[in-house]
Structure 1
Amino acid sequence: MVPGDTLVLREEGEVGTLFVILTGRVTLSIHCREGKEVNLSVLSDGEFLGRSRYWAANRDPPP
């Protein structure tokens, strides 16, 4: 991928996994249905940098 590219993943099931190799400065936008959980793991040169969890829409996460 190069700057300005758009990658769309359409997943009909409950879980979708996407692995993308990016270089340089990256802006990532994730769009999904309300109430769906998004788990994002970040690695750099194979080194784990962190993990974040989000829920679609601005609402509290499920219990």
Structure 2
Amino acid sequence: MTTYTSPRTIIDFCLAPLDLDAGADATQEVRRRLEHVIKTLQIKANKPLSVDFSSMPSQVINEAAHGYE
């Protein structure tokens, strides 16, 4: 179980599968916006929020329903 509390580590974990170009303007803008959202949520909660992705339920995609078989 890994718990993430830092906005940057949460963002890194979430964006890792996308293999984005770290130097691209769009990537930097996405990171800036996500960091703002996470920090705002933490401020509103009056405490650092943590995320444990190991307890996240699996998402099953029905590829046949989308024409990918």
**Shorter-chain TM-score category?**
under 0.3
Structure number, greater radius of gyration: 2
Structure with the larger helix share: 2
Structure with the larger strand share: 1
Specify which structure has the bigger relative contact order, considering alpha-carbon pairs within 8 angstroms and separated by 6 or more residues.
Answer: 2
Return the TM-score normalized by structure 2: 0.21
